[in-house]
Amino acid sequence: MDDFHVSHSRFTDPGSQADWLDGTPRDLAALREASSQLVFHYWAHGDITQHGFAAGRNEEINLRYAEDMFARLRELDPTPPGGPREPLDRIVGCCRDFTLLFVSMARHHGIPARTRVGFASYLVPGWYLDHVVAEVWLDGAWQLVEPQLPAGFRDPVDGSALDLLDVPRDRFLVGADAWTAARAGDVDPARLVVSPDLDVPFLRGLPYARHNLVLDLAALNKHEMILWDLWGSLGDDAEVAPADLARADELAELMADLDIEQLRVVFEAEDVRVPPVIRSVTPPGRLPVEVVLR
């Protein structure tokens, strides 16, 4: 294990807010609990305006960098992360944001951590939902950590308590595992969705599994992208072309080994490498806009 995932990326670097994080807990369980208090999910609870948020605060879902996110949180409540926060004192965001902030705080304390993009089967029974969690290096192995869910969360499938500090690999499928399982028929591709009731062809099945495969590759290379970012070969097509199927099969096989040096080489390919300018399609269904990454 090298220090690659201890050092910050441009996305997790707290920058001018680093001093604020000095007051955050280093204990992994406390850090996970702290992260669960920092974000209000932009659609999981219905319309945010029904919870007292101004409609304009929905734009917070496009906050990309931890520095900007912590600055906004500090503006809302100057108390460092680690205790309960009122919902209106949280930023509006999604699973990616819970996880990015957790990884930022973990790296701030010297804990090797990274984000993983894939699908969770413990959110809605019978479905694998688009989701982002963290991985932390513990006792010589990577362990999945769920930064979003509250302590005491019960798996709706069987009512058991889900270990939020060690999520089973069969309950959260990282990008390559989800793609491989779908292609092999071990998981019905139709069960891989952003949301069961969101009837947009691109946001379900193999097209979105391929999308998350590439986002997971980027995350492994410390490019923790927003879930609606597009670049390289990524688009919003309803079907995956044969050449893209073959390329995704190849990527999934290469990613299964998780050798960091190999993954860096794989990530240099033009079709998956994150360029200086990307496109982003903010939900629900806005037109793509160009984003210049800093």
- Phi, psi for residue 80 in degrees, rounded to 5: -60, 150
Contact (Cβ atoms closer than 8 angstroms) between residue 145 and residue 165? yes
- Supply 244's token pair: 């893209």
Query: Quick one: pLDDT band at residue 68, thresholds 50, 70, 90?
Result: very high
Predicted pLDDT of residue 121: 97
The residue type of 129 is L
- Supply 125's token pair: 């029974």
The residue type of 237 is D
By DSSP bridging, strand 192-193 and strand 172-174 are unpaired
Predicted pLDDT of residue 1: 55
Residues 6+ apart with CB under 8 A from 246: none
By DSSP bridging, strand 39-41 and strand 91-93 are parallel
pLDDT in tens, 129-188: 999 999 999 989 999 999 999 999 999 988 999 999 999 999 999 999 999 999 999 999
Residue 102 pLDDT exceeds 80: yes
Spell out the domain ranges in the chain.
Answer: 15-292
Predicted pLDDT of residue 257: 82
Residue 191 pLDDT exceeds 60: yes
* Distance in angstroms (rounded) separating the CA atoms of residues 162 and 75: 33
